[in-house]
Structure 1
Amino acid sequence: MPSLPSLDDLPGASSVLGLLRRVGATAVNATDVLAHGGFVTDEQYSPYEVVSTHRVHKLRRYFPDDVPPDAPVMLLVHALMISGDVWDISPDTSAVAALHGMGIDVWTIDFGWPEREPGGLERTLTDHALALSDAVDEVSAATGRDVVLGGQSQGGMFCYQVAAYRRGANIDSLITFGSPVDTRAPMGVPMSPENAAVLARAYLASGLARRISIPGWAMRAATQMLTPIGVAQGKAQWYANLHDRERLLPRERLRMYLDGQGWTAYAGPAFAELLEQFMVHNRMLEGGFVFRDRLVSLADIDVPILTVVGSADLLATPPAVRAIRRAAPRAEVYELNVPIGHFGIIGGARARKLTWPTVGGWIHWRDGQGELPAALVPADRVEEWDADALSGIRRWFGTAADLSVGTAVSAISGAVGAVRGAEDLVRAGVDQLARLGELGDVGSETRISLGLLLDEAARRDPGAIVYAFGDRVIRHGDFKRRVDSIVAVMLGLGMRPGERIGVRMASRPSLLSALAAISRLGATAVLLRPDGELARELALGRVTRLVTDPENVPVTAVTDLPCSVLGAGSNRDDLPGHVIDMEAIDPDRVRVPAWYRPNPRNAEDLAFVLFTGSGAGTREMLITNRRWALSARGAAEAAGLTATDTVYSVAPLHHSSAILHAMAGAIASGARLALASDPDPDTFWSEVRRYGATHVSYTWTSLRAITDRPPHANEPDHPIRVFMGSGLPRGLWRRVAERFAPARVVEVYASAEGEAILANPSGEKVGSVGRPLPGTPEVRVVDYALASGPHGSSSAGSVSRGIVTDADGYARPSAPGEVGLLVVRGRGSARQDVVPLRNLVEPGDSWLATGDLFTRDEDGDLWFVDHVRSLITTADGPVLPSVVSGTLEAVPGVALATAYGVGDDRNDGNEVLVGAVRPLPGARITGDALARAVRVLPRAQRPAFVQSVRIPTTTWARPDVASLRRGGVPAPRRNVTVWCLAADGETYEELPRA
């Protein structure tokens, strides 16, 4: 009887058996995965010792019993959303094992699992960064060597921040792995950086960010959603090989780590700080992030950097990572390019073959034990990233993903925009925008003042930063306590509301504190210029008391005025006997009078007295609380200021540009105010980077030093968006706009009389001051007889006498391009000697003469020409000095120009017209160039003499014409060239030196 065929003899039996065996193996392996979360392996972790345990971190040292003598030291830093085991997941992918095998002493910082640590979910980014700084100290002390800091993703960001914070102390070099620096760089997901910022602002504005921590599973899900294609491919490959345990085992611990075991919670305060510092702002690149109360900028890094870039990294794209070379211009930056994605840089097969051998080679090169690895390329020789990968991924996502992101952004914007518009709302805050709107509707009885606005800001958000100076910041809550203490001391010294208190200080935090205290007391601050004529300004300002800083204490008593000194650094032994040290008075021991009420003043009360001019031409500028509030609102709107900005004031605080534009605009908008500590260009660029300055205030020529010098190392990719101020000469304006593009210039004008506030927000018309800001009074330019000007007189009445009227007695409006007097509608002035002009353009109206000459163009934009009192009276008639100086600025090679008159007794008391030019560095000016330039002027307006000279400037950076005038008719001398207008009136002849 024939035997039955076996199963193996049946057709296709082998394939069926193979399938059954595969199904069986898959079932067995799947059961193990379900029971244990994965396959159990016999792989061993690298040995380590927990050297120390702290509130935020633990410090591990790997292979502690096998550290080679004099081994270079590396401290590795992980990102917050994953555990510290990322450096030693399995033997095949272990970074610590690879580095140890190359003779390196390896340490890691472990931030633990915040959800399991006491207070772990209350941590901030600052807590982690300062913990890393402490770890650097500890490792360096234990080993006696500088530390190589290495960090993956956000861990690398911590490395950058700590290196900047420490100014490189005890740090040999930095190595970062896929660590982004520019959060405005293209993203590898279907969301623009702008949309991401909108979502971040909205989430912060909701108030949820600091209160809700993100669990580890949510962090894992969110990260995987950003790269769904790669995640899906990886899972499909794993499932396809589930039958082959031996094939999966080598990467099993890595899979289990990435699928859940390695993800930790993200503390709410830390996540909120991440959004605010690096999504809403771009502080890694632009600067201005804060550790506790200290400002930090990556521009302070000067240690070598190796940045490892994943060319297929879609979480930290190559442009975002490579931005470190722009953020840290002083550092020597090298790049290693690895053709892999984000995590594979440190955990994949290529990491084992390329990343870690190259990193080890870098460390030994830094230790003097080898050559620079050949795979490393100086960052400035790396070509820009080819964005084909990004485009391809976006095509994979398709239109649906773009629509989903756009819909989310639109939904948030629509919901918040029901109140005032999402963009503005989340950037400036509901309360701050509402307050800004109120500043445009201030009645005479409205309670408004500098002190009140600061009080309101401190009540809203005491932790917000009010100003920065040097490398420190002051928060609203601390500033309020300081100001209240000063007020108590002032009350103890007998100061009272309504007094005029003279303040003579350098531009420093003590000056801002003094101004806020005087406002809160209800007095008037008279800002005395440190280089001004003290006696004259005291008399004009009707000062009853004097407050100074240690550097500006009068050597002798000023008549019978009580004098007090305020500010840290005062030497108690060196103070003159007539001076009271306010810092020595304990505010807690002062008995505050029962009548005292903080911030009692109304809109029409006098807030500040400023000064313009010099010598006999010195005059006061009276600023009411209403005018200051209007200026605050106007500056904020014209410059586009929001609570996310930082205003860096180059102008000293006793200048109207600083008081009315920089300080006022910053306080009104909630932006930070940063005070320049020194006018030196090196300090300027260092502080712009450290502060993350988005707006820079100027006055007159204060920007010349940074504009006309060679490029600074910190200048490329600067964060400045707006230069705002007043008096910028047109030639310098053009150079500023060209050199620092795309930053724009916003010129603002505030009249000395009346409440005219003009601004040119676009900056497109160089030299124009634009138009009146919304909420400010109407202005007009009326015909003016220049020959009738007061020529130096400060009398407002004498100014108005030059107004030209028509047959009906009304002021005649100036035609476009014609010079006229600017008048502003208003009922009266804070100055008693200013009389309103009645019935000027219509019956019953009231106007104030500003004393300033303007032109109006065909579009209605206004152009400042000169002050009436600046007119130069020559034998041929009055000359406008700004017209002459503007013409001379057009001469090639001229950095700055001015024009003035010199008295000449031989010319019937008329003045000789003189021009002065300052050449650009290395430039040579010729008489022929001068002649070609001035041909556009009528013969009577061509200067009789032009001198090439170092034009002096005042502390306001305005050309010091008075000093030049005292020199009389210029004569050639060393470093001074003088040209004289020839008899033909067309050419200039260079005068020989004696």
Structure 2
Amino acid sequence: MDLSAFTRPVGRLVATAQNGLEVLRYGGLETGAVPSPFQIIQSVPMYRLRRYFPPDTRPGAKQPGPPVLMVHPMMMSADMWDVTRDDGAVGILHKAGIDPWVIDFGSPDEIEGGMERTLADHVVALSEAIDTVKEVTGRDVHLAGYSQGGMFAYQSAAYRHSKDLASIIAFGSPVDTLAALPMNLPASIAPVAADFMADHVFSRIDIPGWLARTGFQMLDPLKTAQSRIDFLRQLHDREALLPREQQRRFLASDGWIAWSGPAIAELLKQFIAHNRMMSGGFSIHGDLVTLSDIDCPVLAVIGEVDDIGQPASVRGIKRAAPRSDVYEFLIRAGHFGLVVGSKAASQTWPTVAQWVKWLDGTGDLPEGVNPMALQPSEPHESGVSLSSRVAHGTAAATEMAFTFAKSAAGAVVSANKSARALAVETARTLPRLARLGQINEHTRISLGRIMSEQARNLPNGDCLLFDGRVHTYEAVDRRIDNVVRGLIEVGVRQGTRVGVLMETRPSALVAITALSRLGAVAVLMPPDVDLADAARLGAVSDIIADPNYLDAARELDMRVLVLGGGEARDLQVPEDADVVDMEKIDPDAVDLPGWYRPNPGLARDLAFVAFSSIGGELIARQITNARWAISAFGTASAANLGRGDTVYCLTPLHHQSGLLVALGGAVVGGSRIALSRGLQPDRFLKEIRQYGVTVVTYTWAMLREVINDPSFALYGDHPVRLFIGSGMPTGLWKRVVEIFAPANVVEFFATTDGQAVLANVSGAKIGAKGRPLPGGREVALAAYDPQEDLILEDDRGFVRRAEPNEVGVLLARPRGPIDPTAPVKRGVFAPADTWVSSEYLFRRDHDGDYWLVDNRGAIIHTERGCVYASAVNDAMGCLGAVDLAVTYGVPANGHELAVTALAVRPGGSIPSADLSEALAELPVGEPPDIVHVVPKMTLSASYRPLVSPLRAEGIPKPSRNAWYFDPDTNRYKRLTVAVRTEIAEGQPG
């Protein structure tokens, strides 16, 4: 009788029981493996720095090869690099002649203060470890990080501008986190969810090690279940289990450590909600950092079926670090399989060793490592599909079932993609529009009040960026309150008019907001005008100045309050000077008077006085809280500003655009405000990447100064999605959207009193001013006769509304206080109705979009008819060679000539045929009498082309770049001496 049929099952059962008992008692099978030897080179509370296989220091001993410093993610133990000595990372690299180092952050729940660690703490600690490795070895360091450890590697490299780094090797490390999320989560919802979790969950709790393990396993539940079933099925076969036992125990229990809540919150907020690995502008202990500063070689190891570090997300490094030579190595593995397991031992680590040798000049480029192709900026992959993960670890039949389910789900997701995005945008925009619609003259609203609300809702949120540093809402709001106390101490009260003469810097923003919070009036004084005239027009009693403008302010006969100026401030003023150093006032020692109530301003109250120049005359513009709020809420709604945006304020804060659009829109939107010291092309490019600028503000031809500069070169990707402002010439508009694609332009038009606000939100029609903002004032076009300068009426005596493409005067239906100098009209379209005339002429096309035609008082009345300057300038801007166009009137022998001056781009030329064609299809009005090219065009401080210097030169002189309009042929011809004489005498042609 063959007893094996009986004894074999019994023996298998006994072996299973014995091995199972060992697993239950000890957590696993005893393998007899010992860890690789290492030496602790540095031990500080934040980390310990291990050097594996310490070199023999005896004379003549073989010296180690290039150093590789390996970085583990926050939730995994540093022992992941040595799970098995023969097949682990440190062992394989050592055998290949590489010098392996490991940074060990330890388990934070076992370290005093460990659960208070932030993500920035890890980045700074890694940077310090790099310094140590460099100091000990004398060689540049290869930085290798797995998953979030790779993110740390990228961030630390950017933080130190690649100093002392030979390369970065990242294993499944996401960069463009919104390009492909785990489990195919929709990118439109992830930022909202991440922000909520950061603010309301992980600000209160931490993640213990067991929960980190469970979460990791749940990301791939099929593979987790399959691994456990395989282990149970082979529990009788100890020899089969031992080779993978250390790896199994690591994943099942030993390898997981706790996460601190602050670190998770920072990860969610900066790199998921706001995706700042891609955009730049992430904060490391207050310093603003961008991956575009990385310039060392990069090797991204990508798992083909990695559902955590998905290929689309990992490949974002190519766009985020355009100055680096970026390579990739693609293997058929999941997330953990990239660094631990059989494929890691046979493919990953030999390739890494060869990569290091190749850069060291002792080997060839590894097989399978290729330059990474540039991926499109728009997400083109939905991530590692469920079917791919199933195919990687289950049978073909199961794969088919999940493939069918994935296809059905994909159809639903595709159908609802636009609706989901619309829902997120609507949720952000509707409350603003509702609040905008509720503003009346008795509403309590002001800049100071909105800043208080944001500081209360987002105390730790980034508020202000300047000189590479970030300041939180709480810090900025506290500084504002301190300045308010200082102002009260020196006698400033509600309603007091105080001049602000300061550079665009944080102290200027604080001063303006503090005056708003106090209920005083900030008179914004441009430094390039007659200050005495501005002080008189603004009726100021005191001036707040920074140290740079102290001398200019002291020329005025009034008290000067000095605020800000940075660390190196030495006022050097006589003792008898009427100067108060606000920085010497202790805010805690100031007793607040009984009359003080923070943010008392009503919508009808005067909040600011700004200045503009018309015909060389300085004009004071009064801005109420309502006017400021309309622009601020309108900008935030039109530009869809949110917490993930960084608004770059290129315009000075004393300019209306800086105050109303940049500062106002950013504060209402809860966005970050980036202040610039001035417009310079090299600074512009550096700061939009360093700050992660998503929205750039402009006035008129400001951006021309950037893109026309010979040194301007936009390399790689950029974070800008919008340019917002007013007055951008059509030609410049076209160039901006071409150069900064896929960014768009949102062009605003607003009357001085804020009653009429238009916005071209879509940007589809270059040159159009768009449509009225939802929730804003109602506008209408009154039919207009330009020859008689009359608003036309219908047969009932009411004003006739202009037909499509008919020139009309823009009217606005007022709400709240009306500027006493504004032209008010009553009984316009209905009995007793009230409208305010903007005195601007527009046409409205068949789609309902408004196009600026001219100012009512600036129409050029030629002998051939009316010439509308804006219409002509827009047409000229469509010519590729034209940089700027200005149309103006010139008197000539009792009549008026319309002249258009052109500034041409370098190397550009304008054939007369192109000129004739461009002006032949003017939507309204006549073409100009003369067109000529000028060598230089003078711009105002706000970058608006000035007409007066051109008009002063009279009729243009004949040249090869001057043409006149021949009414007989309706063509432009070369302007000669004879023709010019005839034109000057009133006999054109």
Q: Same fold (TM over 0.5)?
A: yes
Aligned to 2:853: 865
Aligned to 1:461: 458
Q: Does 1:837 align with 2:825?
A: yes
| Residue 355 of structure 1, CA deviation | 2.3
Aligned to 2:940: 954
- Paired with 1:601 and 1:187, the residues of 2 have a C-alpha distance of 46
| Cα contact 1:754–1:826 (8 A) shared by 2 | no
Q: Does 1:528 align with 2:525?
A: yes
| Residue 575 of structure 1, CA deviation | 6.7
Comparing 394-403 and 127-136, the one that deviates more: 394-403
Aligned to 1:240: 233
| Residue 154 of structure 1, CA deviation | 0.4
Instruction: Give SS of 2:971's match.
Output: coil
| Cα contact 2:182–2:308 (8 A) shared by 1 | yes
Q: What are the superposed Cα offsets for residues 603-629 of structure 1, whole Å, 9 maximum, x if unpaired?
A: 111112223334435433321101211
- Paired with 2:501 and 2:818, the residues of 1 have a C-alpha distance of 22
Q: Does 1:380 align with 2:373?
A: yes
Q: Percent identity?
A: 42
- Paired with 2:250 and 2:106, the residues of 1 have a C-alpha distance of 15
- Paired with 1:593 and 1:202, the residues of 2 have a C-alpha distance of 39
- Paired with 2:604 and 2:807, the residues of 1 have a C-alpha distance of 32
- Paired with 1:186 and 1:614, the residues of 2 have a C-alpha distance of 53
Aligned to 2:341: 348
Matches within 5 A, 1:39-118: 39-66=29-56, 69=63, 71-118=65-112
- How many residues of Structure 1 are paired with residues of Structure 2 in the alignment? 953
- Paired with 1:277 and 1:528, the residues of 2 have a C-alpha distance of 37
- Paired with 2:360 and 2:105, the residues of 1 have a C-alpha distance of 28
Q: What are the superposed Cα offsets for residues 137-186 of structure 1, whole Å, 9 maximum, x if unpaired?
A: 33333444432211111000001011111222333321111111111223
Opposite residue 444 of structure 1, the aligned amino acid is E
Aligned to 1:276: 269
| Residue 38 of structure 1, CA deviation | 1.1
Aligned to 2:844: 856
Opposite residue 59 of structure 1, the aligned amino acid is L
Residue in structure 2 matching 1:127, options 112, 117, 121: 121
- Paired with 1:855 and 1:404, the residues of 2 have a C-alpha distance of 48
The verdict on how the C-alpha distance between 1:671 and 1:571 changes in structure 2, with shifts beyond 3 A counting, is closer
| Residue 515 of structure 1, CA deviation | 0.9
Aligned to 2:535: 538
| Residue 648 of structure 1, CA deviation | 2.1
Q: Does 1:770 align with 2:784?
A: no
Aligned to 1:752: 752
| Cα contact 1:754–1:850 (8 A) shared by 2 | no
Matches within 5 A, 1:256-335: 256-335=249-328
Matches within 5 A, 1:582-981: 582=581, 584-588=583-587, 593-705=593-705, 716-753=716-753, 755-787=755-787, 802-806=790-794, 808-826=796-814, 831-834=819-822, 836-902=824-890, 904=891, 906-908=892-894, 910-937=895-922, 941-971=927-957, 977-981=961-965
- Paired with 1:882 and 1:630, the residues of 2 have a C-alpha distance of 26
- Paired with 2:752 and 2:214, the residues of 1 have a C-alpha distance of 61
- Paired with 1:340 and 1:710, the residues of 2 have a C-alpha distance of 48
| Residue 500 of structure 1, CA deviation | 2.4
Aligned to 2:146: 152
| Cα contact 1:178–1:310 (8 A) shared by 2 | yes
- Paired with 1:615 and 1:330, the residues of 2 have a C-alpha distance of 48
| Residue 557 of structure 1, CA deviation | 4.7
Instruction: Give SS of 1:189's match.
Output: helix
| Residue 991 of structure 1, CA deviation | 6.2
- Structure 1 stretches lacking a partner, 5+ long: 1-6, 790-801
Comparing 168-177 and 802-811, the one that deviates more: 802-811
Opposite residue 342 of structure 1, the aligned amino acid is H
Opposite residue 320 of structure 1, the aligned amino acid is S
Aligned to 1:23: 13
Comparing 190-199 and 494-503, the one that deviates more: 190-199
The verdict on how the C-alpha distance between 1:481 and 1:387 changes in structure 2, with shifts beyond 3 A counting, is closer
Aligned to 1:793: none
| Residue 210 of structure 1, CA deviation | 2.1
| Cα contact 1:133–1:166 (8 A) shared by 2 | yes
Comparing 684-693 and 293-302, the one that deviates more: 684-693
The verdict on how the C-alpha distance between 1:47 and 1:440 changes in structure 2, with shifts beyond 3 A counting, is same
| Cα contact 2:440–2:816 (8 A) shared by 1 | no
Instruction: Give SS of 1:623's match.
Output: strand
Instruction: Give SS of 1:258's match.
Output: helix
| Cα contact 1:948–1:978 (8 A) shared by 2 | no
The verdict on how the C-alpha distance between 1:282 and 1:306 changes in structure 2, with shifts beyond 3 A counting, is same
In the superposition, the TM-score normalised over structure 1's length comes to 0.88
Q: Does 1:210 align with 2:189?
A: no
- Paired with 1:940 and 1:197, the residues of 2 have a C-alpha distance of 52
Opposite residue 815 of structure 1, the aligned amino acid is E
- Paired with 1:964 and 1:368, the residues of 2 have a C-alpha distance of 63
| Cα contact 2:432–2:633 (8 A) shared by 1 | no
| Residue 328 of structure 1, CA deviation | 0.6
Comparing 85-94 and 432-441, the one that deviates more: 432-441
| Residue 392 of structure 1, CA deviation | 3.3
Residue in structure 2 matching 1:392, options 388, 392, 416: 388
| Residue 389 of structure 1, CA deviation | 6.6
| Cα contact 2:604–2:817 (8 A) shared by 1 | no
| Cα contact 2:884–2:902 (8 A) shared by 1 | yes
Q: Does 1:510 align with 2:516?
A: no
Q: What are the superposed Cα offsets for residues 689-728 of structure 1, whole Å, 9 maximum, x if unpaired?
A: 2222332222222333556679977664433333222222
| Cα contact 2:73–2:147 (8 A) shared by 1 | yes
| Residue 59 of structure 1, CA deviation | 2.0
Instruction: Give SS of 1:174's match.
Output: strand
- Paired with 2:577 and 2:741, the residues of 1 have a C-alpha distance of 52
| Residue 274 of structure 1, CA deviation | 2.0
| Residue 464 of structure 1, CA deviation | 1.6
- Paired with 2:578 and 2:938, the residues of 1 have a C-alpha distance of 33
- Paired with 1:734 and 1:531, the residues of 2 have a C-alpha distance of 31
| Cα contact 1:504–1:527 (8 A) shared by 2 | yes
| Residue 951 of structure 1, CA deviation | 2.8
The verdict on how the C-alpha distance between 1:847 and 1:76 changes in structure 2, with shifts beyond 3 A counting, is same
The verdict on how the C-alpha distance between 1:407 and 1:926 changes in structure 2, with shifts beyond 3 A counting, is closer
- Paired with 1:14 and 1:625, the residues of 2 have a C-alpha distance of 95
- Paired with 2:615 and 2:490, the residues of 1 have a C-alpha distance of 32
Opposite residue 230 of structure 1, the aligned amino acid is K
| Cα contact 1:624–1:830 (8 A) shared by 2 | no
Comparing 489-498 and 243-252, the one that deviates more: 489-498
Comparing 808-817 and 155-164, the one that deviates more: 808-817
The verdict on how the C-alpha distance between 1:152 and 1:517 changes in structure 2, with shifts beyond 3 A counting, is same
Aligned to 2:173: 179
| Residue 516 of structure 1, CA deviation | 0.6
| Cα contact 2:64–2:98 (8 A) shared by 1 | no
Instruction: Give SS of 1:987's match.
Output: strand
- Paired with 2:253 and 2:536, the residues of 1 have a C-alpha distance of 76
| Residue 370 of structure 1, CA deviation | 4.1
CA RMSD of aligned residues (A): 3.6
Comparing 702-711 and 855-864, the one that deviates more: 702-711
Comparing 391-400 and 492-501, the one that deviates more: 391-400
Opposite residue 87 of structure 2, the aligned amino acid is T
Comparing 643-652 and 73-82, the one that deviates more: 643-652
Q: What are the superposed Cα offsets for residues 848-886 of structure 1, whole Å, 9 maximum, x if unpaired?
A: 221211112234332222222433344555422111111
| Residue 581 of structure 1, CA deviation | 6.1
| Cα contact 2:563–2:581 (8 A) shared by 1 | yes
In the superposition, the TM-score normalised over structure 2's length comes to 0.88
The verdict on how the C-alpha distance between 1:223 and 1:398 changes in structure 2, with shifts beyond 3 A counting, is farther
| Residue 44 of structure 1, CA deviation | 1.3
| Residue 645 of structure 1, CA deviation | 2.3
Q: What are the superposed Cα offsets for residues 112-135 of structure 1, whole Å, 9 maximum, x if unpaired?
A: 112222232232212222222222
- Paired with 2:48 and 2:264, the residues of 1 have a C-alpha distance of 21
